[in-house]
Amino acid sequence: MGDFWVFLALTTAMGMSIFLSWPVVYSKRAQGRWAVALNAVAIGILVFLLADIFSDVAPILYPNGYVANGGYSVAFGVGFLAAFVGLYAIDNFPRAARAEDPGSETGAGTAAATEPSPRNTALIIALGIGLQNLTEGLVFGVNWTAGALGILAVVFLGFFLQNVTEGFPIASPFLGTNARRTPALMAGLFLIGGLPTIVGGAIGYVWSNALFITIFDALAMGAIAYAILPMLRVGFRPLESRALSLARNRLVYLGIMVGFVLGFAVNAV
């Protein structure tokens, strides 16, 4: 299994499969109720990714099934908190400063000044997915060098299909908004999410380390957990009437369930 170029082509196919969702996220139908539904599906996919990442790192954290591995557990906790708290600080402190600025156009404490930016949310989601894909590439690289053909086929197909669904969460903060999303911006966000698959694969091809996997899985989970919160806030924002809010909420609940099942289904293939 020493053909590096074949290996590189396969990891590139896995990482760049995220672009296969491009036609859907740029569809003119992705507005109104469709935008609400796609945003909810994206939340469901991210919730599944949290579970999927933890299932990957759990054997390292709990090698005996129930007794925690102290050093790795501490590294995981620190990594998760570093990503979550770090992103909170980056995302909220500048907006808080703008809200308190008497000279700002929106005035002090207005909702517009503190509203999450679709671009920032999309970037956070892309970073979280990118960190997760880094460890997925690492797993593929380790199995490649081990010559595990049967496992390789399953890993490749599973990661390829999973990456296809990951374009929806990245694009979802823009759906149903007037925020400007140029093709160059979206391509950059998709690359942030997909390219780490190739980087992780190259690392796994020559080297693997359990602590490395633990830290990057923790960072990915912290970033994704933080990204889900503003998406839920937007998804459940009150509408003009109670009836409209209830109808939209039912659509969000259904979309989250569909997204989780979709993530589970493509991962189980």
| Token digits of residue 44 | 């469901």
Coil, helix or strand for 123? helix
- The answer to whether the beta carbons of residues 179 and 118 sit under 8 Å apart is yes
- Which DSSP string do the residues of 199-249 spell out, in sequence order? HHHHHHHH---HHHHHHHHHHHHHHHHHHHHHHHHHHT---SSHHHHHHHH
SS3 annotation, 2-35: CCHHHHHHHHHHHHHHHHHHHHHHCCCCCCHHHH
pLDDT tens digits in sequence order for the chain, 269 residues long: 458 888 899 999 999 999 988 887 777 776 777 888 888 998 999 999 999 899 989 999 988 877 778 889 999 999 999 999 998 888 777 555 555 555 544 444 444 555 668 888 899 999 999 998 998 888 888 888 877 666 677 778 878 888 888 888 998 888 777 878 889 999 999 999 999 999 999 998 888 788 988 999 999 999 999 989 888 888 888 888 888 889 989 999 999 999 999 888 877 76
Q: What is the pTM of this model?
A: 0.80
pLDDT at 108: 45
Q: Which domain covers residue 159, as residue numbers?
A: 4-268
Cα dihedral sign, 168-170-119-238: positive
Amino acid 106: pLDDT: 45
- What whole-number distance in Å separates Cα of residue 17 and Cα of residue 81? 30
Instruction: State which amino acid sits at residue 152.
Output: L
Provide the number of structural domains found in the chain.
1
Cα–Cα distance between 71 and 78 in angstroms, integer? 11
Of 256, 140, 263, give the one whose Cα is nearest residue 208: 140
Residue 98: the pLDDT is 52
